[in-house]
Every structure is written in structure tokens, then in C-alpha cells.
Structure 1
Amino acid sequence: MEEKKLVIVGTAHVSRRSVEEVEEVIEREKPDAVAVELCPRRYYALVHGMQKEISIADVIKSGNVFMLIFQLILAYFQRKAGEETGVKPGSEMLAAIEKAKEVGADIILIDRDIGITFKRFWQKLSFFEKIRLILHLIRGSLNGENIEVDEMLEEDVLDMLVREFRKISPNAAKVLIDERDIYMAANLLNAFSRYNRIVAVVGAGHRKGIENALLKLKDNPVNLRELEEVKKGRNYLKIFTGFFAAIVVATFVFAAISISTEILISAFLYWFLINGILSAAGAAIARGHPLSIITAFLCAWMTSLNPLIAAGWVSGFVEAWIRKPTVNDFSKLAEADSFREMMQNRFFRVLLVAALTNIGSMMGTIFGGWYILSTFGVDIARIVGERVTNLIGGLA
């Protein structure tokens, strides 16, 4: 029986040196199979150069606006890094696929579906971690910082980057890095039931994790279905704002019965203005159309009281109706040379209007509600404190 052999090649996804190393290793080893850090969806897009059409309406209604913005900005950074080296993102994977065909090796796709990974990753981030991450990426694109790709291959630099990301969100880092290491390691072990010699081509940041996972999985197999499950997580910020809005509604009802009409109208006007101004400000910062900004201003007071409708949905749909983004606009996002150029793209502009309007609306619900409740003498700090204590107690 032939001895089993696995060679793991760690690469930078936009490095010419990585492409050459991949070709050299496969040529030297002549493996039975070449495993690549791709899922079927990414493989098809990479090989055929096609992307799935995305409906802007579906994105807005699904509430995945921030996740898509994050993916688009991340793709922009990877493409810019590729331009600096003259290597397109994914070139080392394409080289591995082509070289595998040359030596007669099978191709194994060992990575988890990219959609599942992003959904699990996004669920692990808190609302403020999502905002901070997106703002950090935007700031980097505006500064035009150079990316030292070859330094990315240095193990100590990669370890440092992974550690820094774990500081921001340990749970999210686990999904993006650790879970995929385990998933790919498990698929490699399964592949040895069919092959004796395998060359695995993965990102340099995954090599050490996969090696460690291989040692652990020999004695402790993992259920891959558990790593593919996307649970419907609780949106605690939405729960909090909904709870806040419910108190505001109850206060208005109480005021209508017990307090003068003049005070009630005054309170409503403050609620209307605070919600409207902050929501409209979000749409304006996103450089939305004047009609989208006006829509955000007029509808925010109502959407803040209705958990089934978000202000960003309304302003986003108005922006989409005016801008009329096409599939071609989405495709052109990949060609943007700067964040400013991304802002000129109709598809991206609609996403940003929806996202920033929602942020303004959430702030309006909190600040507007706090002002109204304080006006009517409600001790909101005590109520919220009790609610948070009960929530923590329920999770314990």
C-alpha cells in the first residue's frame, strides 16, 4: 500500500511568487489530487468569470445591506492589492487548477460555501463591530495605503493580523478562520480515502490552523453539517429599539388619556423631528437623491414604531426607483479604483442610502424616545436597567 502524503502550500491570494510556488510544488510532487481553498460557488465564478445576479430589492428586504457592503469593500481591497503586484485575485488557485489538469490530478474543493461563511461571520459581529469594521475599511480605501503583499506571507505578520482581529471579535474570528481551518482539514482527511498523494493550496493564514486541525481530527472527527448550519440569531439592537419604541407608544397612549392635547402634540413633534432629522442625515451622508432624503425624513417617525418596516427599506427603495441600478452597475463595482468611485456607482449608492438611513433611524428611536419619556417623567434608565438585567438573567 502506497504511503499517504500531504503537502500544504500557503499562499497570498495576489502574489506572483505564490503562483510560481504553486506550479513548482505540483510539478514536483505529481499528486493524485490538488485540493484548493475554494467552494463550488467561488470555483465557478473564478473559472468562468461569472457572478450571480443580485436583486437590490431582495438585499434591502433581507436586511443584509451591511454584509454586502462589507463584502464589496473587502473585494475592492483584494483587487487593489492584485493591481500592485500585477496578479489578479485568485490567480494562484487558477494556477493550481491548470497545473492539476496538466499532471492528471483530480481537483478537490475543500472550503465551506462562501455564503454560509459570511452569514455565520456576520451573525457573530455586534452592530457596533459591523460599523467599526466597515468604517475601518472605508478609511483605508480613502487613505490609499499601499499593501505589502509579500509581507503577508511572513508567518509572524499573519499571526499578528489574526491576533488583532481576534481582539475586535473573537467569535467572528473563529468563524472566519478557525471553523474554516477545521472544515478544510476534515475534507482533506476524507479525501485520503480516495487518494494517496495530495497537494493542498490554501491561504497562508490557514496553513498552521489546518495542520493543527489535522492532528486533532484524527482522534476527534467533526460533523461538517454543524459547521454549515446558519441559525436565525437574535438581533439584540433591534430588540432593544423595539422595546424602546413600545414604551414610547404606551407613553403616547397614556398621555392622550391623561395629559393635555397641547403637550401631546408637542411631544409628537419632537419625536417626528428627532427621528426625521437623524434618518435624513444618514441618507444625506450617503449622498442620496433629495427625494430619498425627504422620504427618510417623513417616514422615520412611523417606521421607528413599526418593527416590520425599516426606514432604510423605504428610502432605499425610493433611491433604487430613482437611480434604477442594473446588473451592469453591480459588475462595474469590481472595477472601481477608489471608494469615491464606488460611491458614484448606482448599485452601491442605493445600498449605502439604505444602510445609513437605518443607522439614523435607530439613533432617532433611542434619542427621540429618551427625550419623550423624560418629558413625561418616565425613569427610562431604571426601566432599561431592569430589562437588561432580566435579559442577562435569562441567558445565564
Structure 2
Amino acid sequence: MSRDPDTADGPVPDASRPPDTGADTGAGPAGTPRPSNERGEGSVRVVGTAHVSEASVREVEETVAEERPDIVAVELDEGRFRQMKGETPDDLDPGDLLQGNTVFQFLAYWMLSYVQTRMGDRFDIDPGAELLAAVDTAEELGISVALVDRDIQTTIQRFWARLSVVEKLRMVGALAFGVTDPRVAGVTFGLVVGLLLGPAIGLFGGAVGITGAVLTRVAVGALAGAVAGYLGSRAAALSLGGDGDADAPSDVTTLGVGAVVAVAVGAAVAVTGAGVAPIAGLLSDTILRAVGSLALGLLAGLVVGAVAALAIGALGVEAATDADDIDDFDPAELTDTDVVTAMMDEFRAFSPGGAEALIDERDAYIAHQLVGLREEGYDVVAIVGAGHRAGIEAYLEAPETLPPMDSLVGTAKSGGIPWGKIAAFGISAAFIAFFVLLAMAGVRNEQLLTLFAAWFLINGVFAAGLAKLAGARWRSAGVGGAVAWMTSVNPLLAPGWFTGYMELRHLTVNVSDIGTLNELLSDESRPIRDIVSDMLDVPLFRLIVVVAATNIGSLIASLLFAAYVVPAFAGSLDASITDLMIRGARESARIIWGAVS
């Protein structure tokens, strides 16, 4: 563009090269086409298309050829245009990918891309083919091209910022059901519930009758069940069909057999007490308490997940994301709306702000560009998704209703109370206060150092361990583990960022990774295990998994520290933690009062 696209005056067409050399992406007066009309007398024809419709491709080609406008404007930003044309490397900025909520914004963009790709596969056409057809036709006819859409990163960031916490959870859940089996999602939800419930049982189980003896039995039963479950799953795999056999059982079958065996053996040991005493004698009370409470939490979580999975299956929720639904679409009907906008219209019901960023703001942004071209005297054919057509045409008819351009660009801030930051500062303050008050209560430095060392060690082991399991290199996992204690104190930081930056010294991530992931996810004939294994070979997905695993490891370590390490530490003191905190608070208040008075 030869003018700043963020100004309200509107652009002149892209003209870094003469019109007869093809599409233009930069600025330069030498190649700017001459308007066909006097200033203020230009025209704009908006063509609404479906982004996965073959008919739309033909309509675009015919319209551009018949109209022969001065400029063909397309619903693309420069980054997406260059990616489609293959003109520039499509590496992602690692810093942008790892900062703050950018990972979540990128996941949302990936999921939307996946849905659109599935629709494109159904109709045997690449998503956005009509936009590329408009560009190619303009090149052949020597017509200039204007890229009039807002930068996709700006759009996704503003969309994400407008969502409330509940809306973000609902969106991620809806997208998860669209990618995986809803029953798998239900069980996964149960596992998450169990991991959070386990430490709570360790802390407060005694109040509801879950004594140390009960946890000991459950712990030994869980260990025995884990061994039996593994052996059972392997036996099922061998007896029902060996590895590599075409008739081999699915991962779900073998895991199901293993789970049944594990629960049966674990429950038998826990109820009868058989073999509990000798095994318990080999383990410390803290380990038994930790394993027992985690096992109870996971069992309760799996029950919740199983119930959710059964409910999802009984209600037929999976039908909403089944391929049959896509088969029900009539390509001719897609001329009334484009796929992404149709999907976002559903979000408008629970997030008007999110829909505004994704749809309404882009209508206004594109209209600004088209009004500017029309005022310059150009005849323009604009190729946009059909879902944007009505909004754009309304602005073209009444340009005075356009919002200021500066309200449509830049980084948006989340509305409402910043609960995340408040919680982060609260956790940091609580951690510092914990150690300060213990010191003021007279707890010896050696004991405090031991407690801090335990905090450092458990965070490091879990963060680094899960990062390594996710495929991180030893050095990357070690860096994430080394800083995990500090990032747990300040949740505004994340150990996964540090692990990710180390991994990026050996990985090159780019936008084409999204296409690779979409192809893998679209293959419904292969076992899930093989698909996940191949996905982990894609640099972008491996980076996301490593970052997430490091953060999850640190979170689990923090819960375990509070649930098991602190109570064990309290047993070595001459008073309870609560009494010591009160004593430390009184001593601190006495010193402060003496200083100010």
C-alpha cells in the first residue's frame, strides 16, 4: 500500500510493480495505476464468495474478466497473500509465539484453519481458492491488486482479548469436540479433575474420614493395579493381534482392558489389605499419602469423565462434529456465507465482543480501504467472504457511519477486572509472606532452607520431567526445571517459555506446519497413537506440547508441595503451620508498630 493502512484516509492500490507484472504488495508511485474517474467518482462492486466453493472460483474469474476494473481488492492481508503465493519464507516469529496468550491465540487460529480445511476437503477445493483466483486473473489481465484485510494476527489477538474466561473455556471445549472424539475429551476432562482433586484429598481428607490407614491401602492398591494394568494391556495386544498385525486391537481396546484390570486388582488389594503391610514398609508415610490421595482423586475424576463420556454418547453430541454433517452441506448454499464467518456467528450468541473483533471490525476495516479507493476515483471489484458482504456494503452506502480507523487497529486490552494478574500477585505475595512469617516466628534458617530446597527440587523435577517426556532436549528441559520454582511464585511468567526458547535454537517453526497438522488430523483411518507420534515430529506442534508440558509439570509440583511437603515439614516443628503463621504475624506487627511509633 502506498499509504499507511492504519490511517482513516484510505489506501491507494498496491503498486510496487507495474500493473502488468502481477499482484502488488508494496508501495511506490511509479506503478500506481491511473484512476478511470475523477476524484470522488469511483465505484466499488462487492462480490461475496464462499471460501470452499468451486462455483465461487468461477464467479470471481468471470466477474473480474467482465468488469475489467482498475483494481481488484481481495480479503487478504500481506502475510496471508505472500503465504498463498509462496513469495516469502513463512517462518513464525518465535518471540511472538511464546509471549503471553499468543500460544492460545495461535491454537484458536489453527483450529479454525482445521475446520475450514475439512470443509475444503469435502468440496475438493483449497480454502481461499477464489481469492487466489482473483489475484491470478488480475495478473493475467494486467490489473492491480489491493490487499484490504486487517492483519490476521491483529484480528486473532483482538478476538481473544474480547473473550471472557468462561467464553474462552467454552470456545476451547467446542473446538476440542470438533477435533477429537467427544468421549476421549470427557475422559481427559476427568483426568484433569482427578489431578486437582488428589492434592485436595491429601490436605482435607481427614475431615471426611479418609485416614492415613485408608490412604496406605489405596496407595499399595494403586501401585499393584498399575503393574497389573500394564501387563493386562500388553497381554490384550498380543492375544488379540500382535504389533503390526492388520487385525491388531485399537489403542482404545488395549487401554480399556488395561484399565479394567488395573481397577479390579487395585480395588481387591485396597479392600482386602492383601500384601499391603510388606509393601507399605518399604515406603515413607509421605509417599504413601501422596500416592493414595492422588489415586483416589484420579479414580473420582475418571468416574466423572466416564459419566460425561456416556452422556455425550447417549445424547449423540459427536454427531455435531461428524463428517456426515459436512456431507449435508450443499455447495450452492455456501454462497450465502463463508465457512469461518458462519462459525463465528455461533460465537456471537455468547461473545458479542469476540464476534465484533472477528467480523464487524473487519467489515469496517475493509470498508475503509474500499471507500479510500473509491474516493481516489478507482473502479474496484472487491472479493470478500459472503458473510462480510452485507456489512461492507452498508458502510459503502453510508461512509459517515464508519468507526475511526485507529479504533480498529492495534492491540486490544481485555475488558473487565484483571483477575489473572490479581491472582498472580496474590500468589507471589502469599509465597513471600509464608517464608517471612515462618522466619519471624522463630523457625530456624536450616529448616527454612530445607523447605525452600524441597520447593526448588519438586518444581524442577516435575517441570523438567514432563518437558522431557514431551520430547524436549535435556538442556531445554533442564532450563525449564531450573526456573520452575521462580515462575511458580510469579504466574505471570511460565517455565514453558524458557524451555520453548531453548528448543527454538534447534527447531524452525513456520506457518506450513499448520497444513501438515491438518493433514494428519484429517486421516481417520490410522490409530490415534500413530497420528500423535507423527504430530510430535512437526516442529510447531512439538514446541506447543513442550511448552504446555513444562507448565503443567510446574503446576502439579506446586499442588503436591502444598498438599504433601508442607504437612511433612510441619511435623518437624514445635507447633502447627497455622500457629506459626499467627505467631509470625504478631511478631511482625510488633516490630512494625515499634518502628513507626
Match of 2:91 in 1: 53
**1:312 aligned onto 2:496:** yes
Shift of 1:241: 1.9
Q: What secondary structure sits across from 1:192 in the alignment? A: helix
Q: What secondary structure sits across from 2:357 in the alignment? A: helix
Q: Distance in 1 between matches of 2:552 and 2:406?
A: 35
**1:376 aligned onto 2:578:** yes
Shift of 1:345: 1.2
Q: Distance in 1 between matches of 2:174 and 2:334?
A: 19
What is the aligned counterpart of 1:177 among 359, 362, 384? 359
- The aligned length equals 374
Q: What secondary structure sits across from 1:219 in the alignment? A: helix
1:334-357 Cα offsets, whole Å, 9 max, x none, are: 233124343331332112221353
Match of 2:156 in 1: 118
Match of 1:200 in 2: 382
Shift of 1:193: 1.6
How does the TM-score come out when normalised to structure 2? 0.53
Gap regions ≥5 residues in structure 2: 1-36, 182-320, 522-531, 568-575, 583-597
**1:210 aligned onto 2:392:** yes
Listed as ranges, the matches of 1:1-396 within 5 Å are 5-56=43-94, 59-60=97-98, 64-126=102-164, 129-130=167-168, 132-143=170-181, 145-146=322-323, 147=326, 148=329, 150=331, 152-155=334-337, 161-195=343-377, 197-215=379-397, 217-231=398-412, 236-258=419-441, 260-261=443-444, 283=467, 287-289=470-472, 291=474, 299-306=483-490, 309-317=493-501, 319-320=503-504, 324-327=506-509, 331-336=512-517, 337-339=519-521, 340=532, 341-358=534-551, 361=554, 376=578
How does the TM-score come out when normalised to structure 1? 0.76
Identity of aligned residues (%): 37
Shift of 1:237: 1.4
- Asked whether the 8 Å contact 2:338–2:385 carries over to 1, the reply is no
Shift of 1:53: 2.1
Counterparts in 2 of 1:219 and 1:315: CA distance versus 1, 3 Å: closer
Shift of 1:141: 2.7
- Asked whether the 8 Å contact 1:65–1:355 carries over to 2, the reply is no
Between stretches 124-133 and 89-98, larger displacement belongs to: 124-133
- Asked whether the 8 Å contact 2:472–2:546 carries over to 1, the reply is no
- Asked whether the 8 Å contact 1:244–1:369 carries over to 2, the reply is no
**RMSD over equivalenced CA pairs, Å:** 4.1
Match of 1:385 in 2: none
Counterparts in 2 of 1:129 and 1:314: CA distance versus 1, 3 Å: farther
- Asked whether the 8 Å contact 2:364–2:402 carries over to 1, the reply is no
Q: Distance in 2 between matches of 1:325 and 1:207?
A: 41
Q: Distance in 2 between matches of 1:352 and 1:149?
A: 37
Counterparts in 2 of 1:319 and 1:193: CA distance versus 1, 3 Å: closer
- Flag the structure with larger Rg: 2
- Asked whether the 8 Å contact 1:271–1:369 carries over to 2, the reply is no
Amino acid aligned to 2:391: G
Counterparts in 2 of 1:27 and 1:109: CA distance versus 1, 3 Å: same
1:20-63 Cα offsets, whole Å, 9 max, x none, are: 11122223333332221112232222233544322546633566
- Asked whether the 8 Å contact 1:32–1:106 carries over to 2, the reply is yes
Counterparts in 2 of 1:307 and 1:230: CA distance versus 1, 3 Å: same
Q: What secondary structure sits across from 1:338 in the alignment? A: helix
Counterparts in 2 of 1:211 and 1:250: CA distance versus 1, 3 Å: same
- Asked whether the 8 Å contact 1:274–1:364 carries over to 2, the reply is yes
Amino acid aligned to 1:106: S
Between stretches 91-100 and 286-295, larger displacement belongs to: 286-295
